[in-house]
Structure 1
Amino acid sequence: MSEASASLRGEDENPYRPPVSPSAPLSGYPPAVWTQVVAGALLMLATLPGRTHGLGLITEPLLKDLQISHDSYAQINLWATLLGALVCLPVGTWLDRMGLRIGALVLLPALAAVVGCMSVYLKSGPQVAMVLFWLVLLTRALGQGALSVLSLAVAGRSFRHGSGAAAGSYAILLSVFFAISFGVVGSAVGSSGWRGPWGGIAIGLVCLMPVAFWLRGGAASQQAEAGTEKDFTLAQCLRTSSFWAYSAGIAAFAAISSGVGLFNQALLAERGFDQGMFVKFQSASFIIALLGQIICGAGMRWLPIRFWLGGALVCQAAALAAYSFIHTQAHLWTLAAFSGIAGGVITVAFFAVWTDAYGKRHLGRIQGVAQMCSVFASALGPLLLERGHAFFGTYAKTLIFAAPGCVLVGLLTLILKPRPHA
């Protein structure tokens, strides 16, 4: 088969190319790789209405409009998130069978329809809590679940062994895209309420549909040629200790990130910092996270991604323990440095480790399981932190007890290396 015909079928030009040398220049990546990286980032941006931070942009005006209590909404969100996570595994299998292009053409308009219905038809009334539950469940399942798996599969299939620049660029694009979208949507919600901006997001999802045609076509029989016979199946992957160590580490970070992100202002107030300092801390952490992503993306040329993941988890543990000891602004900026760099590195690791360790052939299934674990953890994180606060009387002491778990998982990640299956 010629290279031209391979390209028309949406396959790699040379599916048996050797791994990229750690010293290979950035120009060694073909333009198609960068197209997939940008497409994957745009598809992850499309998950905004199904993510905690996206729903958080409209929470207060939504609850006021529908006359629903915070406690009721918290229960709705918890169960919608947990049930929505279950879609990750079948979606991974479906994408491996049907192909990424078809996946995008189905999922983008489906999520747009749900978000549009939510903005137009959701009204207060006796059954509003049940209707809201089903709509949030669908946004979670289609956005945080299915589209996230699709985005990870798009980007992951474009990464090659040692492709730190591509993985780092993907993570940085996500940070920039989400930062811009949070600012635009948040400003619109503040000035005109939640319905108009939410309906605008639905229109935006439809406008993103042409991105599907950037994706490599083909079902599993064709996509398999991008991998090798040595690539892990899902069953083989699940039998490895390394997979569960990597998943546990990323899930721990997801739980901590969602819990601390939700209660960070209360956490810092507990240490004597006001709301203005909280905003500065959040902004600094975001900028430093970008630095962590750049460092990890470049560093993957010299150290395997599992070393970066393990080190970042240990760094995260140090940041958790440090909450109990911060008293000055210097302490606070040191904490922002540790937590920001750790978060940036772990973000890149989540996107890159599965391809690097287990290959491309069954990537959708493997990332589906990993994403499901991450979503479960992010749903439980705020609840566990709040329960710890109720038990200990302080958020900081709860985080100290979480730190040893991060250290343990980080060390396991450093030690456990994926082995070729039989």
Structure 2
Amino acid sequence: MRQNARWLAAGGVLTFASSFGQTFFIALSGPALRAELDLSHGEWGGVYTLGTVASAALLTSTGFLADRFRIRALAACVFAGLAGACVGMAFVGGAVALGCLIFCLRFLGQGYCSHLAFTAMGRWFSAQRGRAVALAAMGFSLGEALLPITAVALTGLIGWRGVWLAAAALLIALIPPVLWLLGRERTPRQLAETESAPGMMGRHWTRGEALRHWTFWALTPGLLAPPFIGTAVFFHGAHLSTVKGWSLTTVAAAFPFYSVATIAMSFVAAWAVDRFSARRLLPLYQAPLALGVALIGLWDAPAAAFVGFALLGATQGAAVAVIGALWPEVYGTRHIGAIRGVAVAMMVFATALGPGATGALIDLGVGVEAQFAALSLWGAGTCLFYWAVAARIRAAMAPQPSFSSSSGTASNRSATSP
């Protein structure tokens, strides 16, 4: 991995930059936005949901760009656009403008920065794909560990609008380093099809073929659970602290526990992916999520924030390696950008539903504690369902018999088969 440090670092910069479109960063401005724009919990959640849903819809139709253009060029455009959205947040004055800016932040930050990073890692790496994904994903953890505390401290000095201007300046400053890191392609693999690694049945799946096959839709309900639940917890963190009688500092201090657990589990899961394959880990990776959100909902002690966030981070870290490696493992690498674009869009959509649905229920009098306890059943149910799904996928990944030399070898190796 040392000889590939520059490409891994580029992936890390992309995932770090996504922080400015992630819920944990945007939600820090939530109380100020609600106060200045006179929004209720449900209205603020609704604006956030609409902007995020729109970003998911656009991502569905633009994910294929990562298959057609170099990551280097796309990254520069995305960083510049994301910086512009941050400047807009510094001057936002109405709910409509806020919805448009949320759309830009979510599409360019959470959506496209993450999409570019994981598409690149999935295509550039094969034998050690799980570790490459885990290393690149450290940018997420770095942002989650540093930015909440930094933003809270800066808010006291320059105000919440000033924090958004500082974010824009940082993104502009990151463009030259990421261009330098991606100045050379790791291999011709990004543009050449001959070196691509096939997926199920020894072939490369197009987006249309993947969407018409049962596997994609069987994976979908479980894929949506972590983004829905995690976003709901982060988005309503300030409200949760009020309900539980915790200080806001307690919630902010829990983020480093989340980040450390994410990093640690991402490397454990990456080793396991490279050793056993992503499909074998599907039934396991959401177990910490189910336990963590149940603890946050049912336990009133401040320790619940630290333990619960750590467990959420464990699932996030495992998901980075497992899901990041799953798509190229199952569908091959030739059309991976288009396929992953649909999956990422659906997960972005889940992050939209989380704050909106839970915010509306809060306005209706359904406590956030009861909601989180109920959401734990989703994660637990996914673990059970994925046992059956993983078995079907393993059967589809089994080498196919070859009947003649002229027909090709359907039993060609999968790049990540154990």
If the length of structure 1 is used for normalisation, what is the TM-score? 0.79
Within 5 Å, which residues of 2 pair with 1:200-211?
A: 200-210=166-176, 211=178
Which residue of structure 2 aligns with residue 188 of structure 1?
154
Which residue of structure 2 aligns with residue 402 of structure 1?
378
The one-letter amino acid of 2:383's match is V
Which residue of structure 2 aligns with residue 37 of structure 1?
8
Change (3 A) 1:240 1:284: same
Change (3 A) 1:349 1:61: same
1:186-233 superposed Cα distances (whole Å, 9 cap, x missing partner): 321232112222112222222222213433559998243441563222
Which residue of structure 2 aligns with residue 138 of structure 1?
104
Work out the CA distance in 1 between the residues paired with 2:42 and 2:274.
Answer: 47
Which residue of structure 1 aligns with residue 191 of structure 2?
222
Deviates more, 1:315-324 or 1:237-246: 315-324
Work out the CA distance in 2 between the residues paired with 1:265 and 1:221.
Answer: 43
1:362-405 superposed Cα distances (whole Å, 9 cap, x missing partner): 12111101111101111112344456665765335423543453
Change (3 A) 1:412 1:185: farther
How far off its partner does 1:285 sit? 3.7
Which residue of structure 2 aligns with residue 166 of structure 1?
132
Partner SS, residue 118 of structure 2: helix
> How many percent identity over aligned positions?
24
Which residue of structure 2 aligns with residue 372 of structure 1?
345
Which residue of structure 1 aligns with residue 229 of structure 2?
256
Q: Report if the CA contact (8 A) 2:298-2:373 is conserved.
A: no
Work out the CA distance in 1 between the residues paired with 2:150 and 2:301.
Answer: 33
The one-letter amino acid of 2:19's match is L
Partner SS, residue 310 of structure 1: coil
Deviates more, 1:311-320 or 1:347-356: 311-320
The one-letter amino acid of 1:399's match is L
Work out the CA distance in 2 between the residues paired with 1:309 and 1:344.
Answer: 13
Which residue of structure 2 aligns with residue 86 of structure 1?
57
Which residue of structure 1 aligns with residue 69 of structure 2?
98
Within 5 Å, which residues of 2 pair with 1:231-380?
A: 231-263=204-236, 278=251, 281-321=254-294, 326=299, 338-380=311-353
The one-letter amino acid of 2:347's match is S
How far off its partner does 1:107 sit? 1.8
Q: Report if the CA contact (8 A) 2:189-2:196 is conserved.
A: no
Which residue of structure 2 aligns with residue 19 of structure 1?
none
How far off its partner does 1:175 sit? 0.6
Partner SS, residue 300 of structure 1: helix
Work out the CA distance in 1 between the residues paired with 2:195 and 2:38.
Answer: 52
The one-letter amino acid of 2:272's match is G
The one-letter amino acid of 1:150's match is L
Q: Report if the CA contact (8 A) 1:99-1:220 is conserved.
A: no
Change (3 A) 1:178 1:69: same
Change (3 A) 1:403 1:146: closer
1:329-362 superposed Cα distances (whole Å, 9 cap, x missing partner): 8888765664443332123223222223222211
Work out the CA distance in 2 between the residues paired with 1:113 and 1:174.
Answer: 21
Partner SS, residue 86 of structure 1: helix
Q: Report if the CA contact (8 A) 1:54-1:182 is conserved.
A: yes
1:225-283 superposed Cα distances (whole Å, 9 cap, x missing partner): 44156322212222333333334322111111112233456668767877676556554
How far off its partner does 1:307 sit? 2.5
Partner SS, residue 39 of structure 1: helix
Work out the CA distance in 1 between the residues paired with 2:247 and 2:332.
Answer: 47
How far off its partner does 1:44 sit? 2.0
Which residue of structure 2 aligns with residue 50 of structure 1?
21
The one-letter amino acid of 1:224's match is E
Deviates more, 1:226-235 or 1:87-96: 226-235
Deviates more, 1:392-401 or 1:53-62: 392-401
Structure 1: segments with no counterpart, 5+ residues:
1-28
How far off its partner does 1:133 sit? 2.0
How far off its partner does 1:129 sit? 2.1
Change (3 A) 1:202 1:173: closer
Partner SS, residue 360 of structure 1: coil
Which residue of structure 1 aligns with residue 415 of structure 2?
none
Structure 2: segments with no counterpart, 5+ residues:
401-409, 411-418
The one-letter amino acid of 1:395's match is Q
Partner SS, residue 274 of structure 2: coil
The one-letter amino acid of 1:88's match is L
Change (3 A) 1:250 1:130: same
